[in-house]
Amino acid sequence: MIESQEFQEPLVNTEQRILDAAKLLFVQKGMDGTKMQDIADSAKISRTSLHYYFRSKQKLFEAVFYDQFDRFLPRVTKIMEQEITFEARLGQFVDKYLDLFLANPYLPNFMMNELNRDPEKMIELFAGEGLFSKRVREQVEGELRLMNPSLEASHFILNLISLCVFPFIARPMVKAFLINGEKDAFSHFIRERRAIIVDTLMCSINDAK
């Protein structure tokens, strides 16, 4: 009877509930530490119902990843379309990127794994929206050309992404060697980096003149 009621729910509501439960558990325990039964219990459905929507934990993990990036990437386009200074837009982008990874610490390493496992799929994802899309790249190139014709936009974009992503990929090393082990030390470290990343990139524009 319970099983029948679960399947009568709108698919989008049940599926989103599963994604929300899985995201929370992946953040808390990581992919390896999370069991399908844990996700089913958290989503308040049976394990059979969970497998109806997602055949494996890997498929569910991928769905969580793409769900988060589908929400994030359009924000990049909105930021770039604002009529504010380049530095202000840069700051907003860094804020959004770091917030995304703080809320979803599994994403950076998943991105690296997927780039090695299925590069075409990741390339297709990033080509449509975000800093790697043709429209955004051309806009950044045009603005950098006005500020500093000698600065290559490709290097600037890669520096921006690297400065944001690397601390999360190297999180255990950062925590072990660069910051103390107190609670929330890593989050505090990342909050400090927001202004540092923007200042570093703006200095690269001015210093290269």
pLDDT at 202 over 80: yes
Q: Of 55, 77, 100, at which residue does a domain stop?
A: 55
CATH at 161: 1.10.357
Please tell me whether residues 84 and 8 are part of one structural domain.
no
Q: Which domain holds residue 20?
A: 1-55
Q: Given this model, what pLDDT does residue 74 score?
A: 73
The pLDDT-based confidence of 123 (bands split at 50, 70, 90) is confident
Q: What's the whole-model pTM score?
A: 0.77
- What mean pLDDT is reported for the chain? 85
Please tell me whether residues 49 and 69 are part of one structural domain.
no
Q: Of 55, 79, 96, at which residue does a domain stop?
A: 55
Please tell me whether residues 86 and 29 are part of one structural domain.
no
Give whole-number Cα distances, 182 to 85, 138, 170, 189, in Å: 37, 43, 18, 11
Running DSSP on this structure, what letter comes out for residue 184? T
Number of domains comprising the chain: 2
48-60 per-position pLDDT tens digit:
999 999 999 988 9
Q: Choose between 105 and 21: higher pLDDT.
A: 21
Distance in angstroms (rounded) separating the CA atoms of residues 164 and 159? 9
Please tell me whether residues 79 and 3 are part of one structural domain.
no
